[in-house]
Amino acid sequence: MTIVPLGEHIGAEVRDVDAGSPHAEETFAELRRALYRHSVLVFHDQDISDEQQVAFTRGFGRLQMTIASDPYGGGGPINRIANVDEEGRLIPPRDKRSLYQAGNNLWHSDGSFKSVPLKASMLSAKVVPPRGGETEYASLRAAYATLPESRKVQLEGLVAEHSMAYSRSQIAPGLMTEAFLKATPPVRHMLVRTVPETGEKALYVGSYASHVIGWDIEKGRALLEELLEWSTQPQFVYRHRWKANDLVMWDNRTCLHRGRPWDNGVYKRIMHRTTLAGDGPTVP
Ligand code: OGA
Ligand code: MN
């Protein structure tokens, strides 16, 4: 395989790997190293089935099933991120289902609303719009590494509260089903986490992070907003412009991502996502 970096801080294209075929453990070991090193891996021309995507994901580690009450996962291995219903009809942009998915357009790390967040995610593009609908990725390692020393000292040991409810409250109230809210109570995460495989530190912020534990709510929120703004500066960001059959994998511990808008009342966009389970809680 060949690994071609896409930017200074984040992203690499992987060539000569067929995601639809089985691979030796050494190949997955090399791919894992590339994922930890670059945070985002891009594979082009991967016309794969859901079963092949699940098998390829499993090669990286332990597969994480979706939450049973998740309207787009239903407890299975595939999360369908799409603006069409089961019959392939466009879902109107003002529909509750579209608004729910609009949460993906806020900077986030998948599963940070859970006490054991998702380690990595893999997205397969089935149908993409002719323009817009990109996904952006921001390096939380570069964001941490470039902080002033005094800031790093200040952040040491801080814990933030993350919740699904806080993320979706930024879109519209009443978006979440009672069942899904019940299944996703607020959780706590370290504001700075260390990635065990590399020893590198990363900021852990995003739209689910609502305040800092033990701090005045507004003061903590202001800090989180400032750090989010810092982390998503253009020099830390890779923007992926999708082609059908692109497969993109990212390390949720070291990058944030967000979807970008497109003319979703006119064009279809259908993505299938699989995820890797996290290794444990971020708080001791
Ligand atoms: C996701 C996600 C954004 C997008 O799949 O986890 O946030 O651009 N996707 O589809
Ligand atoms: Mn996401």
- pLDDT > 80? residue 104: yes
Q: How confident is the model at residue 74 (pLDDT cuts 50, 70, 90)?
A: confident
Measured from the Cα of 79, ligand 1's closest atom is 5
pTM (global) more than 0.85: yes
Domain contains 12: yes
User: How many A from CA of 259 to the centre of ligand 1?
Assistant: 5
Give the domain range for residue 29.
2-276
Domain contains 219: yes
User: How many A from CA of 164 to the centre of ligand 1?
Assistant: 15
- 127, 271, 272, best to mutate for ligand 1 pocket (most atoms within 8 Å of CB): 271
pLDDT in tens, 196-207: 999 999 999 999
Ligand 1 atom 1 nearest Cα:
104
Region of residue 95 (phi > 0: left; psi between -120 and 50: alpha; otherwise: beta) = beta
Nearest of 191, 234, 182 to residue 215 by alpha carbon = 191
Contact 79, 273 (CB under 8 A): yes
Domain contains 282: no
Look up the CATH number of the domain holding residue 178: 3.60.130.10
User: How many folded domains does the chain comprise?
Assistant: 1
Domain contains 284: no
What's residue 281's pLDDT? 98
- pLDDT > 80? residue 128: yes
DSSP state of 234: G
- pLDDT > 90? residue 94: no
- pLDDT > 80? residue 70: no
Q: What are the Cα distances from residue 194, in Å, to 191, 230, 272, 281?
A: 10, 19, 29, 12
Domain contains 51: yes
Q: In sequence order, which residues have a C-beta less than 8 Å from that of residue 152 and are 6 or more positions away?
A: 144, 192
**Mean per-residue pLDDT for 50-72?**
91
Measured from the Cα of 104, ligand 1's closest atom is 7
Domain contains 201: yes
Domain contains 281: no
